[in-house]
């Protein structure tokens, strides 16, 4: 039986880390993720975990310390946001290319500049091709659950990739919600003990981590990373199945909300899904067959599965909380349309950039997207596929 609590997303994430009890946590504070290492450091000082907490001088050093710890054979975790993740950029790539299953809580916030401390997904999208598994969380419960599952996925012998769990800064990180925690012993048994096959402190197998890797081998090593990312798809589902047996909570690559008979649908990630579900319910009461596909697993991108799930629709809108500034839509939009084309699925699809820098996205805004989709179905024509939502002077 789970433990009922009321927690913010940051506190829920810190409690997940406490229950995991990693060997090393290295972190540097940055809004809005600061509370995660702050809460966790109190667990360390109170003797509730035996983790080595490393208070470093920068986010670059935080990821460097995690890399060193993981390479030595320890289980390592960290948390950051926005410019902190940007400052880690070099080490983010080194972590994945070295096949080190570090787990990071990424509390999404706009990347400067100009300076903004509120939520969008520009930080996560900036490293989307860095070789990290990326899980997104609609609410506090999902942020907690994703972290509990993270090490089982990242440390699997067929994967061995770092993993980040994303949640929306302030919207979930600082908002208190009802949540069901798992008993400590169950988490301990579920996560298991980390026993890496290759690590620096193994005196029976001298190895080098992060050596020079030139023309002779780099292509093969990058191919191995690509294979590991494909392997992660099966592992993610297997771990989710075990998690459902323990908690009753079901997870997959994405959630389909009233999609089975829908004519029109929105595709989005993180907390916006909650608002969209409410709008879907309201439209259904009016006889409009609206639906939602909420992406949980962004890397590896479940291309074939998403294309199949959306194949019966008449029109789709993809909401991106970051602009790729490519004049061709956001990252989720371009991944999704590529997936549909590759899998021979043709559905009119609109791209919306929204919520930049924490701009409020209301139910009225979401309903306007569904109104646009109805017009696309009615006219069988898209005037402009690349749109912005809630920008003054455009609507």
Q: Does 198 share its domain with 320?
A: no
Count of domains for the chain: 2
Cβ–Cβ under 8 Å, residues 135 and 165: yes
Is the confidence at residue 1, as pLDDT, over 80?
Answer: no
Interval 215-234: pLDDT, tens: 999 999 999 999 999 999 99
Name the average pLDDT for the chain. 97
Interval 348-385: pLDDT, tens: 999 999 999 999 999 999 999 999 999 999 999 999 99
Residue 309 lies in a domain: yes
Of 247, 281, 306, which residue is a domain's last? 247
Residue 395 lies in a domain: no
Residue 194 lies in a domain: yes
Residue 317 lies in a domain: yes
Q: Does 126 share its domain with 75?
A: yes
Closest-CA residue to 15 (of 77, 74, 64): 77
Of 198, 216, 247, which residue is a domain's last? 247
Put residue 377 in one of left, alpha, beta given phi > 0 → left and psi -120 to 50 → alpha: alpha
Q: What is the pLDDT of residue 394?
A: 86
Residue 393 lies in a domain: no
Percentage above 70 pLDDT, the chain: 99
Is the confidence at residue 395, as pLDDT, over 70?
Answer: no
Residue 108 lies in a domain: yes
The CATH number assigned to the domain holding 364 equals 3.40.50.920
The residue segments making up the domain with residue 270 are 254-388
Of 222, 247, 272, which residue is a domain's last? 247
Q: Does 146 share its domain with 203?
A: yes
Residue 323 lies in a domain: yes
Q: Does 236 share its domain with 344?
A: no
Task: Residue count of the chain, please give it.
Answer: 395
Per DSSP, helices labelled H in 110-217 are: 122-126, 140-154, 184-191
> What is 165-193 written as a DSSP string?
EEEETTTTTS-EEEEEEPPHHHHHHHH--
Q: What is the pLDDT of residue 192?
A: 98
The stretch 36-43 carries a mean pLDDT of 98
Residue 54 lies in a domain: yes
Per the listing, tokens 């899980």 go with: 135
pTM of this prediction? 0.98
Q: Which residues contact 297 (CB under 8 A, 6 or more apart)?
A: 133, 134, 135, 136, 233, 236, 253, 254
Q: What is the pLDDT of residue 372?
A: 98
């Amino acid at each position: 039986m789970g433990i009922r609590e009321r927690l913010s997303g940051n506190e829920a994430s810190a409690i997940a880390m406490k229950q995991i009890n990693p060997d090393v946590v290295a972190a540097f504070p940055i809004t809005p993720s600061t509370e995660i290492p702050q809460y966790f450091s109190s667990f360390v000082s109170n003797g509730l975990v035996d983790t080595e907490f490393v208070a470093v001088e920068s986010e670059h050093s935080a990821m460097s310390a995690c890399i060193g710890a993981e390479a030595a054979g320890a289980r390592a975790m960290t948390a950051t946001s926005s410019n902190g993740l940007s400052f880690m950029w070099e080490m983010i790539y080194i972590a994945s290319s070295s096949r080190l299953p570090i787990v990071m809580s990424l509390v999404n916030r706009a990347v400067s500049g100009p300076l903004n401390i509120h939520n969008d997904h520009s930080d996560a999208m900036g490293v989307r091709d860095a070789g990290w598994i990326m899980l997104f969380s609609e609410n506090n419960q999902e942020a907690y659950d994703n972290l509990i599952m993270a090490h089982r996925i990242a440390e699997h012998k067929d994967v061995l990739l770092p993993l980040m769990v994303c949640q929306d800064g302030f919207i979930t990180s600082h908002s208190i919600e009802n949540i069901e925690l798992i008993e400590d012993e169950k988490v301990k048994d579920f996560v298991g003990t980390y026993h890496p096959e290759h690590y620096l402190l193994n005196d029976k197998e001298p190895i080098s981590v992060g050596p020079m890797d030139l023309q002779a081998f780099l292509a093969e090593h990058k191919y191995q990373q690509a294979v590991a990312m494909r392997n992660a798809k099966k592992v993610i589902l297997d771990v989710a199945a075990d998690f459902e047996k323990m908690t009753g909570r079901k997870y997959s690559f994405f959630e389909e909300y009233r999609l089975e008979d829908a004519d029109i649908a929105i595709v989005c990630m993180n907390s916006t899904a909650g608002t969209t579900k409410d709008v879907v319910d309201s439209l259904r009461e009016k006889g409009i067959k609206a639906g939602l596909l909420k992406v949980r697993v962004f890397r590896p991108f479940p291309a074939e599965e998403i294309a199949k799930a959306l194949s019966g629709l008449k029109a789709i809108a993809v909401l991106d909380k970051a602009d790729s500034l490519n004049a061709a839509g956001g990252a989720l939009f371009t991944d999704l349309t590529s997936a549909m084309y590759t899998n021979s699925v043709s559905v009119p699809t609109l791209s919306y950039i929204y919520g930049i820098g924490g701009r409020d996205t209301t139910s009225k805004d979401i309903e306007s997207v569904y109104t646009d989709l109805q017009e696309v179905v009615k006219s069988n024509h898209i005037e402009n596929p690349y749109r912005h939502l809630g920008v003054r002077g455009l609507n």
